[in-house]
Structure 1
Amino acid sequence: MLGVSRREFLLGTAGAGAAFLGGGLIARQANAANFTLPITSLDHTLLPETVTRNMMGFGAGGPPPVLRMKQGKPFVVDVINNLKEPTSVHWHGLRLSNAMDGVPYLTQMPIEAGETFRYTITAPDAGTFWYHPHCNTLEQMARGMTGILVVEDQEDPGFDQDIPLNIRDFRLGGDGQFIDFYKPRLAARGGTLGTVSTVNWKTDETHDLPAGSLVRLRLAVTDVTRVGTYDLTGFDTGKGAAQLIALDSNPLPAPQAPENILLAPGQRADIALRVPDTEGQEVLLTLQTAKGPRLLAKFRSVGTSLNRDLKELRPLTPNPVPEADLANAEVLEFVFGWSPGGDAPKPSFCGTLGYTFWSINRVAWEGDSPDPVDPLAVMKQGKSYILRLRNETQNDHPIHLHGLSFRLLRSNKRELPPLVTDTALLQSKETMDVALVADNPGNWAFHCHVIEHQKTGLTGYLRVEA
C-alpha cells in the first residue's frame, strides 16, 4: 500500500499545480499558460433540431478544442474545473513526466470543483494523441469530455491541411437526451455501445478541400467502448491516392492502403490523402457494420486542382522510443480475465460503477483511492522487458499503458506488424508479447480502455523505479 508520506506529497504537489503564480504583472506574464482549458457543463446540438442537455466538455462551449504543441517544446495548460464534481486530465499516449499524467491519487489529487490545475507537458514524440478525464471516467467521457491533442513534427512533412477527426459515439434516446451510459450485463461482456456515431460532435461531418491538395487526416477513436474497422474510399488511384502513414502516433515502416483499419478505444490512425482533382468528388470515411458501411465523414474536392502528389511529402521521422534488448529482457506475465470474487469496489471520490467483473493477474482494481493496491510489477529504470499479455476471456480488451511505449512482437492468433504503440488490442483468447525499455520512472496506470471494463476491475499500474 502507498504510505501517508506519498499522500502528503501528492497533496502538496497538487496544491502547487493548482495555484496560479502571481506577484505582479511581469511574474504573471512569465508564468502564463500556453492554453487555458476550462471544463464545463453545456447543452449542444448533436442530432438535427435537438439540443442534448447536460453534456460535459472542454473549452468555452461546443466540441473540445484541438490542442497543438511542438515536439520537444514545453507546453503549459491550465485546466479550470467548472463542474460540480472532481475531475482530472490524462494525456493519452504521451510519454511525459509522471506528475503530469492525470491519474487521481496515483499521480495527483483530483481537481475539485472550482479548482485549477497546471499541467506542464514536454512531448518527446510527434503524432496524434488525445486527452480525457481519469476521474468519474465513464460518465464524464460519455457526456463529451474527449479531445484531440496534436504534437507537431519538428520538420514539416508538407501537407496543405491537417484535419483531426474525433470519432466517438453518444448514448442518446430518440429525443436526443442521454440514456443509461452502460448496462451491467454488457459491462461484464464486451461493453455497452453508443447509439449515435459522431465525428467532431457531428453526425454529418463534411470538409470542402482544395482539389488536388494533400491533407493529413488524424483519426482518434475516443469512444468508451466501440472496437471498429474503418475504410477510406472514393479517392483517385493516381498520384499516390491515399495512404495510412501512422498508427498510435508512430510512423508505419511502410505506407499501407487506408482500408480495414482496425481501431479500438484509445487508438489513432493518420492518413495522407490526395484530394481528387474533379470538383465535387467525395472521399468517404466509413465504419464497417453488420448492416454495411456507416458513413462518418465526407471530404469534398472544390476548385481548380493544385495537382500535388503524395511523393512530395517528407517521410515522417520515427519517434525516439528506445529499442528493447530482447536477448536480455525480463519477461513479465499479465492475465486479463474475470474477477475471482464479486466484491463491490471501494467507495471512491472519483466514482464507481458499483460492480467488480474484471481483474489483472486475478486482482481487481478496488477503485480510485489514496491507497490503491500494490503495483502489478516493479521494473528497473533503463532495463528491457517483454510483457506477455494473455486474454483468457471471449471479449476484446484494448490494453493501454501510460507513460511508456512498447513494440508489438508476436501473437498466438495472428501476424503482428512491428509497430510501436501505447494501446494494444487483445482479441478473444489472444496472447501477445510486447517489448519496452522502462525508461520513464513513476507509477503508470495499466488498464483496458473499454471504460466499463476499466471501472469494474480491469485496471492496475506498473512501477518504474530509478
Structure 2
Amino acid sequence: MIRMNRRNVLKAGLGIAAYGTGLGAAIVSSRTANAANEIELEAVNAKALLDGQHLTDGVMTYRSLGEPDALMPPTLRVKRGEPFSAKLMNRLNEPTTIHWHGLRIENRMDGVPFLTQPYVYTGDSFDYRFAAPDAGTFWYHPHCNTLTQMGRGMTGMLIVEDPKDPQFDAEIALNLRDWRLGAKGEFIEQFKPRDAARNGTFGTVRGANWQVQPAYEAPSGGIVRLRLVASDVTRIYQLRLDGADADVIAIDGQPVPNRFRLETAVIGPGQRLDLAMRMPDVEGSVVSLLDTRPSTAKTVATFQAIGQSLKHRLEELPPLSANPWQEPDLKNAEQIPLILSATAEGGAKESFCGSLGYTFWAINRVPWPGDSVDPTAPLAELKLGKSYIFNLENLTPHIHPIHLHGMNFQVVASNMRQVPPLITDTYLAMPDEKVQLSLVADNPGDWVLHCHIIEHQKSGMTSYVRVT
C-alpha cells in the first residue's frame, strides 16, 4: 500500500489506476498492441546518456522492433480484456524473461524462471499472450539476474486502458528510477553488501524517463493524468507537487472510489500512483514534482502551462471505472503467517539468473536459496476459490515493499495506523508493523511473493504460494 499522510489515508477508501503520454520536451515512446498487431521486443545492450553529460556503456533495455532508435523501454498500451501478445527476443549475452508486474494473468505468462517458464537464452525467443483483466498503470521487467538487468535499464511501463474512463486534457507517464553511475557516467557496482543488509544500495543519479529533471508541457487550466511508476531497485520516494493541486485517483492499478487531495505520498519500488493534476491558469507557470525523501527535496520533473486557460476543475472529473474484485470471506478465511526477518549471513546458490552471494533476509525464517531448479517448498498451499488472510509481520528496522504475483490482496488492519481497505499487489510494510492482507485464491499456479527492494529479494526475502 502506498503511504499517505494520516488525513489522506482515511479518505482513500480503495486503490489506483493509470495512463499517460509524455508531452513537450521529453516525449515518451509508446506502442499500442491489439490482436492483429503483435509487439516485438528485443532485450539488447546499448549506450545512453543517463546523467545528462556522459554516454554510458553497458545499458540493458527493451527495444521495440518498430522503434529501433528508442533507448528507454517503450510504454506499452493495451485495452482491458483484449488479447495482447509480445514476442521477446533475447539479444543479451545472458538469459532473461519478462514479468508483467501487477497483472492477474495466466501463471505460465508470469515470467519467473523454473516456477512458470524456462529461461529465454541468448538468441532464443518467448511468446507472451494474455488479456489483462484490470485497467490501470502497470509495468514490466525481467525476473532473471534482476539486480543487474533492472539496474541497467530493463524496466518499462504497461498501461491498460479502459474506454469508459474519463477524458483528460493531457496524459504524462513517468518511469521513476535511479542509476548507479560514476563521475564519468560509467556503471559502478550495483550493490554494497552492508547496504544490501540494510535499506539497500542507492543510485547516484536520480531520473525520470531516463532523463534528469525532464520538462513537459500541458494545457493551462487543464486536467492532466499523471501516471507514476517506481521502477527503481531500491529507492522509496516521498512525493509532493509544488505549484498545482492534484487528486489521487488510483493506487497500484486500482481506482480509489473516493478521490482525495495529494499532500505527500510515499511510494516504494514496484508501486504505482495515478494523479489528476490541475495545471495553473497562467501560461508559463511551472509545476514541480518533488521527492522529499530522505530530507533534501529533489526535483523529479517539471510541467509548464501553455496556451489560454481551459478553466477545467478537478471537481468536474468523473470517476474511473472499477476493476473486478471478489470480496474475501473474512469470517471463514484461513490465517497464514508471513514473517519478514533478517537471517544469519550465508552464501546463496549460484545460478544462471545471478546471485548476490549472500543471504541476509528471510520469509518465515527461510531464506530463498536463489533461482535454481530445486527451490524451497511453497510458503503455503492455497485452495482455488478459498479466502485467506496473510498475517504480515515486519520484524526488521527497515521498510519492505512486499509484492505478490498473479493476485491482488485487500488491506484489513494494521497495528500502526488506521488503514482503508485498499486493493493492491504491493504493500509497503513499515518497521515493526503487523498487518492483515486478505484475498481469494482466484488464480491457479505458483506465485512469487517477495520484497521489491531487489537486493532484499536476491538475498533471501522471497518465497511463493501455490494455488491449486
State the shift of 1:32 in Å.
6.0
State the shift of 1:289 in Å.
3.2
Q: What are the within-5 Å matches in structure 2 for residues 105-184 of structure 1? A: 105-184=114-193
- Provide TM-score, normalisation by structure 1: 0.90
Distance 1:106 1:154 in 2: 34
Q: Is residue 302 of structure 2 the alignment partner of residue 293 of structure 1?
A: no
- Provide TM-score, normalisation by structure 2: 0.90
User: What is the root-mean-square deviation of aligned Cα atoms in Å?
Assistant: 1.4
Distance 1:108 1:428 in 2: 34
**1:324 is aligned with what amino acid?**
P
**1:258 is aligned with what amino acid?**
L
Residue in 2 that maps onto 1:14: none
> Deviation string for 1:99-121 (max 9, x for gaps)?
00000110000110111111012
State the shift of 1:292 in Å.
2.5
State the shift of 1:33 in Å.
5.0
Contact preservation (8 Å) 1:33, 1:77: no
Give the alignment partner of residue 378 of structure 2, picking from 351, 375, 378: 375
Distance 1:47 1:386 in 2: 44
Residue in 2 that maps onto 1:24: none
Give the alignment partner of residue 363 of structure 2, picking from 360, 364, 372: 360
Residue in 1 that maps onto 2:99: 90
Residue in 2 that maps onto 1:57: 61
Residue in 1 that maps onto 2:52: 48
**2:115 is aligned with what amino acid?**
L
Contact preservation (8 Å) 2:257, 2:319: no
3-state SS in 2 of match to 1:57: strand
Residue in 1 that maps onto 2:282: 278
Distance 1:216 1:201 in 2: 20
Distance 2:396 2:93 in 1: 37
Structure with the greater alpha carbon radius of gyration: 1
Distance 1:242 1:363 in 2: 42
Residue in 1 that maps onto 2:404: 401
Closer, same or farther: CA 189–290 of 1 in aligned 2, 3 Å: closer
Contact preservation (8 Å) 2:175, 2:229: yes
Q: Is residue 257 of structure 2 the alignment partner of residue 248 of structure 1?
A: no
Distance 1:188 1:313 in 2: 45
**2:463 is aligned with what amino acid?**
G
State the shift of 1:31 in Å.
8.5
Q: Is residue 422 of structure 2 the alignment partner of residue 411 of structure 1?
A: no
> What percentage of residue pairs aligned between the two structures are identical?
50
Contact preservation (8 Å) 2:226, 2:276: yes
Distance 1:54 1:86 in 2: 16
Distance 1:161 1:96 in 2: 29
3-state SS in 2 of match to 1:311: helix
Distance 2:268 2:256 in 1: 18
> Deviation string for 1:161-189 (max 9, x for gaps)?
22110001111111111111000011011
Give the alignment partner of residue 459 of structure 2, picking from 444, 456, 460: 456
Residue in 1 that maps onto 2:31: none
Residue in 1 that maps onto 2:232: 223
Name the structure, 1 or 2, with higher relative contact order (CA <8 Å, separation 6+).
2
Contact preservation (8 Å) 2:35, 2:83: no
Distance 2:138 2:408 in 1: 13
Contact preservation (8 Å) 2:35, 2:82: no
Give the alignment partner of residue 191 of structure 1, picking from 193, 200, 213: 200
Distance 2:220 2:463 in 1: 48
**2:198 is aligned with what amino acid?**
R
3-state SS in 2 of match to 1:327: helix
State the shift of 1:407 in Å.
0.6
Q: Is residue 317 of structure 2 the alignment partner of residue 308 of structure 1?
A: no
Contact preservation (8 Å) 1:87, 1:133: yes
Structure 1, unaligned runs of 5 or more: 1-29, 236-240
Structure 2, unaligned runs of 5 or more: 1-33
Give the alignment partner of residue 321 of structure 1, picking from 320, 325, 340: 325
3-state SS in 1 of match to 2:159: strand
Give the alignment partner of residue 424 of structure 1, picking from 421, 427, 434: 427
State the shift of 1:440 in Å.
0.4
